Amino acid sequence: MPRALSMPPVIASGSLGGSPQPVLPATGGLLLRPWEEADAPAFLSAYQDDEIRRWHTRRPGVEPQVRKWFHAYRQDWKQEKGGHWAIARDGVEVLGRIALRELDFDDGTAGAAYWVLPAARGAGVASHSLSALTTWALDEIGFHRLELDHSTRNPASCRVAIKSGYLLEGTKRSAAVHDDGRHDMHLHARIRGD
């Protein structure tokens, strides 16, 4: 049963799912674009990387599983549950992944997540992509607050968040399970108008 609100939703239902998922330009010749079937090998290879595996306990094992994930990503967009993009150089070479998840149109909030392939690290790919996605979500779509969290043992992700204007708000104690056990998580957020 839908919940009764005393205020109208921050974002109207149908604002995303009623249109095709956009391609978003980012600094440095990067494009954020929907995942394509041909991206399955690159996506699968990402989860063979030790650093990506360290922070992601949910991992695909074979290309057919990746294609199921891509199908689920398309459904997330249509159902306005999330948006998942490939980070690509010149729209072709996949360098990473970025997503908006846990969309709440009533409150105008969402969570951001990302990873970058080893060969693209240290070149601003994650921060350029996060900045582009953030600008689109806050300024064009009308979200009020975007959050992201990462393990306190992941300083690279912390640097990306801060460089992209996501303020560190605190530490969520023992908030996520990784392969080596529970981790404390830093919570960062960006508010429209920051």
Helix ranges (DSSP H) in 6-124: 40-46, 50-55, 63-78
Backbone angles phi, psi at 178, to 5 degrees: -120, 175
- pLDDT per residue over 57-89, tens digit each? 999 999 999 999 999 999 999 999 999 999 999
Query: pTM for this one?
Result: 0.94
In the chain, the DSSP E strands lie at: 24-26, 30-34, 83-89, 93-104, 109-116, 145-151, 167-178, 181-191
CATH architecture assigned to 24-191: 3-Layer(aba) Sandwich (3.40)
Mean confidence (pLDDT) of the chain: 95
Res. 181: pLDDT tops 90 = yes
